Amino acid sequence: MHTLDQFFRIEEGVGEAVLEGVKTPIRAGFAVVVPAGTHHNIINTGNIPLRLYSLYAPPNHRDGVVHHTRADAEADSEHFDGKTTFDPAASNLAV
C-alpha cells in the first residue's frame, strides 16, 4: 500500500492484479490504476517474465531497480537517490 496513486502498464506476459483482495486477470497491453491507500499486488501467473512499468510521484526507487520476486522487493530498503539514467544527449526530447 502506498500513500499516492500508482499506474501500472503491462508490456509482456500475463498475470493478475489484486486490489483490496479482488483479483483481475491482466496481460500485455493492460493498464492498472491503483488509488492511494489501496492494498495491492501484481502477480505473474504465466510461464515468462511479467514485464511492466509503474508510474507514481514522488519517486520511491532508484532508477533501474528490478525486483525479480516479491521477497526481493520486500527485502530491499533502497530509495530514490535523485539520479536517473536519462541522457538528454541520446534522446530527441527537448530539455
Which one, of 22, 16, 6, 95, lies nearest residue 57 by Cα?
Answer: 6
Q: Which pLDDT value is given to residue 93?
A: 56
d(CA 61, CA 76): 10
pLDDT top residue among 77 and 13: 13
Segments making up each domain of the chain, as ranges = 6-90
Domain 6-90 has CATH 2.60.120.10: yes
pTM, whole model, 2 decimals? 0.69
Residues 88 and 8: their CA atoms lie apart, in Å, by 25
The predicted-structure confidence for 17-75, as pLDDT tens digits, reads as follows 999 999 999 999 999 999 999 999 999 999 999 999 988 877 767 777 777 887 888 88
